[in-house]
A = this chain, B = another copy of it.
Amino acid sequence: MISDRLLSYYLLYRQGRIMFNDIQLVPGFSFFGKNIGIKDDTLDFGGILSDCPCNAAAVFTQNTMPGAPVEVGKEHLRDGSLQAIIVNSKNANVATELQGIKDSKLICQLVAESCEIEPQAVLPSSTGVIGRYLPMEVVSKGCQGLKKDFGKTAQHAENFARSIMTTDSRAKWVSARVGDATLFAVAKGSGMIEPNMATMLSYFVTDAAIDSAQLQKMLLRIVNKSFNRISIDTDTSTSDTVVLMANGLAGTVDLPAFEIALQDMAIYLSKEIARDGEGASKLIELTVSGAQTQEQALLTAKSIINSPLVKTAIYGADPNWGRFVMAIGKVFHYKVSIRDLKILFGNDEKSLLIDADAIDRNEVKLDEISELLKKEEVFIKVVLGNGAFSETVWGCDLTEGYIAENAYYTT
């Protein structure tokens, strides 16, 4: 039993179209990542620069208290065009009021001056602690002579991916080829993750020639199948940003093929984020099907993947399947009968099914469920009834590590 998703990955992989955990350089784009001392001596400042202006699209957090860079970024993207992205970690520049906006605009200006581009062509991002002013002396100094920091090697791209990390335990990137075009994307994120209509930080660059309206439509669709389907802790960041820049150097491409590649890259990065959830030891892939509406499928999937009691049971490989029943039942406005319910652990011929028959015969094999829950990737399928709607979401287990990372974050 191989899922459609795995099959499509396999096919793309065989065709050499998606290159997981691989850096493919995209003509016309350069990168940097360096330490400027915002908090400590790890990489904390990075950027992407295109040789020419790009068509661009982005989605941002729906949190009603967005950070200053989100507000500035929205403004700079209004004409559908970007040439550079500048990111700092260790400080989110959120809840910083007018000073935060001023600081974020100043960074764009300093980058633009150094790189000889327009300030409005720079999209800023910041990630880290909320409620503190950026140390602008340090940042301004970091912007001096910035152009020479940019380079077109894999090491430059890797440094960029590392410079945007906060509590991430590893950098996350993925590449793809579609026709003559190359795609490369990086992402960061491991806590404050329940994106809603948007996501954490992720940047996609390509040399395909696609106009910004098309880019925006595609980006919205793929974000709703990827970053908006992961959850680590139900908390929605104030800084979530996904950007896609296309410089056009490779000419036009087959758009459906491009969108499939884009979606698979986004799902790969989403899974990498869920797998790297703060303190997480396991990636959980959950599919809810048989729902009466798309909403029921998504609400039920989110209810399960976000349940602390489900997450701790999976952490302990405790075959406490009753907690799934509880989590399904707390989507109050859709009635589900336990007679129609099926819960399937695993994704191959060793999968274990719990249904009314198994319960009636008292034949639920707890030890074998526990074995399946011990794996690093836990697959669960829930069938609610005979409805036509389904959703797949990704999450992680809840461990002592999450508490340890978050109880003393700022201190």
Binding site for B on A (CB under 8 A): 62-66, 92, 94-99, 129-133, 191-192, 194, 196, 233-238, 306-309, 312-313, 315-316, 318-323, 325-332, 334-336, 338-339, 356, 359-360, 362, 364, 366, 370, 398-400, 402-404, 406-411
**What are 13 A-B contacts with C-beta separation under 8 Å?**
A62-B332, A64-B329, A64-B336, A92-B322, A94-B326, A131-B320, A233-B308, A234-B234, A235-B308, A308-B406, A313-B409, A318-B411, A399-B407
Cα–Cα, bound, A92→B322 (Å) = 10
Q: Flag if A196 contacts B332 (CB, 8 Å).
A: yes
Q: Flag if A94 contacts B332 (CB, 8 Å).
A: no
Cα–Cα, bound, A227→B400 (Å) = 28
Q: Flag if A327 contacts B409 (CB, 8 Å).
A: no
Beyond A96-B359, A99-B360, whether A309 also contacts B407 by CB under 8 A is no
Instruction: Name the residue on B nearest A316 (C-beta).
Output: B407
Beyond A64-B329, A338-B65, A370-B411, whether A316 also contacts B406 by CB under 8 A is yes
How near does chain B come to A235, taking the closest CB pair, in angstroms? 5
How near does chain B come to A229, taking the closest CB pair, in angstroms? 17
Which residues of the other chain, B, contact A94 by a CB distance below 8 angstroms? 322, 325-326
Cα–Cα, bound, A196→B278 (Å) = 29
Q: Flag if A64 contacts B335 (CB, 8 Å).
A: yes
Which of A98, A316, A370, A404 counts the most chain B CB atoms within 10 A?
A316
Main SS at interface, chain A: loop
Instruction: Quickly give the copy total for this chain.
Output: 2
Beyond A332-B196, A338-B95, whether A402 also contacts B312 by CB under 8 A is yes
Cα–Cα, bound, A130→B327 (Å) = 12
Which residues of the other chain, B, contact A194 by a CB distance below 8 angstroms? 330
Cα–Cα, bound, A398→B131 (Å) = 22
Q: Flag if A326 contacts B402 (CB, 8 Å).
A: no
4 smallest beta-carbon distances between A and B, as pairs = A130-B322, A316-B407, A65-B329, A131-B322
Instruction: Name the residue on B nearest A397 (C-beta).
Output: B407
Q: Flag if A403 contacts B312 (CB, 8 Å).
A: yes
Instruction: Name the residue on B nearest A96 (C-beta).
Output: B359
Cα–Cα, bound, A199→B272 (Å) = 38
Contact partner, A338, options B97, B132, B308, Cβ 8 Å: B97
Which of A315, A364, A399, A406 counts the most chain B CB atoms within 10 A?
A406
Q: Flag if A65 contacts B406 (CB, 8 Å).
A: no
Cα–Cα, bound, A408→B373 (Å) = 12
How near does chain B come to A179, taking the closest CB pair, in angstroms? 38
- Please give 13 more A-B residue pairs, beta carbons under 8 A apart, in addition to A132-B322, A318-B409: A64-B328, A64-B329, A64-B331, A64-B335, A97-B339, A98-B360, A233-B309, A234-B307, A235-B307, A235-B327, A238-B329, A316-B411, A400-B403
Beyond A325-B95, A400-B403, whether A408 also contacts B334 by CB under 8 A is no
Q: Flag if B65 contacts A236 (CB, 8 Å).
A: no
Q: Flag if B315 contacts A129 (CB, 8 Å).
A: no
How near does chain B come to A51, taking the closest CB pair, in angstroms? 37
Instruction: Name the residue on B nearest A370 (C-beta).
Output: B411
Q: Flag if A408 contacts B318 (CB, 8 Å).
A: yes
Cα–Cα, bound, A323→B408 (Å) = 13
Cα–Cα, bound, A192→B330 (Å) = 11
Instruction: Name the residue on B nearest A323 (C-beta).
Output: B130
Q: Flag if A97 contacts B403 (CB, 8 Å).
A: no
Q: Flag if B330 contacts A403 (CB, 8 Å).
A: no
Cα–Cα, bound, A261→B313 (Å) = 39
Beyond A129-B320, A322-B94, A338-B97, whether A407 also contacts B315 by CB under 8 A is yes
Q: Flag if B307 contacts A406 (CB, 8 Å).
A: no
